[in-house]
Amino acid sequence: MKKIGVVTSGGDAPGMNAAIRAVVRLAYARGLQVIGFRHGWGGLISNDFLSLTPRSVSGIVQAGGTMLHTCRCPEIMMEEGLRKAAGHIAENKLDGLVVIGGDGSFRAASALSRYTGARMIGVPATIDNDVFGTDETIGFDTAVNTAVSDIDKIRDTATSLDRIFIVEVMGRKRGFIACMVGLSSGAEIILVPEVPFDHEALYRSIRENVAAGKKSGIIVAAEGIGDTGRLARDIEANTGVETRLSIIGYAQRGGNPSARSRYLAALFGEKAVELLARDDSNAVVGLRDGHIIRISLEEACRADKPLDLEALRLAGQLAR
């Protein structure tokens, strides 16, 4: 193993830069050359890359986003895109490729592995925390903290005006962010795509809260539950409590990574380079029960990582 490539792909996540830095520096320490492809899989398809050295990754550990840029790139799942990407891996004489991203990025890496002999190693980085096999992904902790600190402020106005606020957090398909944010911010209700909810039961629980003296409240809803604007109007119409919607949105994807996201990036980066040095392939690094582990690429592509329903239950109990 002499030379590897690095690519960041899909939605950016705070801590991706810290992961690039860790991979580059630890690879160099083992005598490997590193190049980084710009704009995700698009850079591999068009052969747009830069050489990465320990010095070129200085001063990025605290920066959000990704110095390599990223993109959503459907071409990488098509025959022509895969052939071009594999061709550029061969042209650059890459022995391995580190893919920093989410499950979509790993599905692309898996497809690409059928066209190239280069070893594929994934590093889970997505705010959604929806990569199967790992308890946590790089960026999740930062996104949760961003949303919680916003909700702390929103609660001030909710209390002052006796209002309900639906706070919509990211999570198009999954409720990991909503669940952790709701629990940590003391939300009265948490709505996630994984658990269908009954509108009448929701109105009833709000009326009960009001009767018990809770005149304001926070409902944390994952974006994947549907039309939160309409839900706000329906709650107001059915409970008589003034209800507003606040969408936190893309702010959750940006900003300086938390210490935990950087820490995870360092540990994941170290494991990724170690796996490459051992000639391992088609693997993703992860965290399970406090240990850094190897997950098969195939497993990490699964879309059914279970949500912690116990955390939802606890949040419900604490909100009474």
Residue from 17, 126, 185, 216 touching ligand F6P (CB under 6 A): that is: 126
Shortest distance (Å) from residue 139 CB to ligand F6P: 8
Residue from 38, 163, 253, 305 touching ligand F6P (CB under 6 A): that is: 253
Question: Which among 78, 79, 75, 59 is positioned nearest to 67, based on CA atoms?
Answer: 59
Instruction: Please report, as residue ranges, which positions from 151 to 170 form the binding site for ligand F6P (by CB under 6 A).
Output: 170
Q: Closer CB to ligand F6P, residue 59 or residue 229?
A: 229
Residue from 5, 7, 8, 11 touching ligand F6P (CB under 6 A): that is: 11
Shortest distance (Å) from residue 5 CB to ligand F6P: 22
Q: Determine the Cα–Cα distance for residues 277 and 315; give it in Å rounded to an integer.
A: 43
- 127 three-state secondary structure: coil
Among the options 12, 95, 103, 128, which is catalytic? 128
Residue from 89, 110, 120, 128 touching ligand F6P (CB under 6 A): that is: 128
Q: Closer CB to ligand F6P, residue 172 or residue 313?
A: 172
Q: Determine the Cα–Cα distance for residues 240 and 234; give it in Å rounded to an integer.
A: 10
Provide the Cα torsion 191, 194, 200, 204; round to 10°. Answer: -50
- Name the residue type at position 44: L
Q: Which two tokens stand for residue 86?
A: 């594999």
Q: What is the chain's alpha carbon radius of gyration, rounded to the nearest angstrom?
A: 21
Residue 158 phi/psi, 5° resolution? Answer: -60, -45
Residue 135 phi/psi, 5° resolution? Answer: -70, -25
Q: Closer CB to ligand F6P, residue 127 or residue 187?
A: 127
Burial of 272 (0-12, 13-18, 19+ CB in 10 A): buried
Residue from 96, 171, 175, 286 touching ligand F6P (CB under 6 A): that is: 171
Shortest distance (Å) from residue 225 CB to ligand F6P: 12
Instruction: Please report, as residue ranges, which positions from 194 to 223 form the binding site for ligand F6P (by CB under 6 A).
Output: 223
Q: Closer CB to ligand F6P, residue 129 or residue 209?
A: 129
Instruction: Please report, as residue ranges, which positions from 94 to 123 form the binding site for ligand F6P (by CB under 6 A).
Output: none
Q: Which two tokens stand for residue 234?
A: 């329906």
Shortest distance (Å) from residue 13 CB to ligand F6P: 7
- Is the C-alpha dihedral spanning 98, 104, 106, 109 positive or negative? negative
- Asked if 43 interacts with ligand F6P (CB under 6 A), we say no
Q: Is 198 among the residues known to form the active site?
A: no
- 165 three-state secondary structure: strand
Question: Which among 256, 285, 272 is positioned nearest to 23, based on CA atoms?
Answer: 272
Shortest distance (Å) from residue 250 CB to ligand F6P: 7
- Name the residue type at position 167: V
Shortest distance (Å) from residue 239 CB to ligand F6P: 28
Instruction: Please report, as residue ranges, which positions from 55 to 74 form the binding site for ligand F6P (by CB under 6 A).
Output: 72
Q: Which two tokens stand for residue 133?
A: 């096999």
Q: Closer CB to ligand F6P, residue 153 or residue 172?
A: 172
**Contacting residues toward ligand F6P, per CB under 6 A:** 11, 72, 126-128, 170-172, 223, 253
- The catalytic residue positions are 128
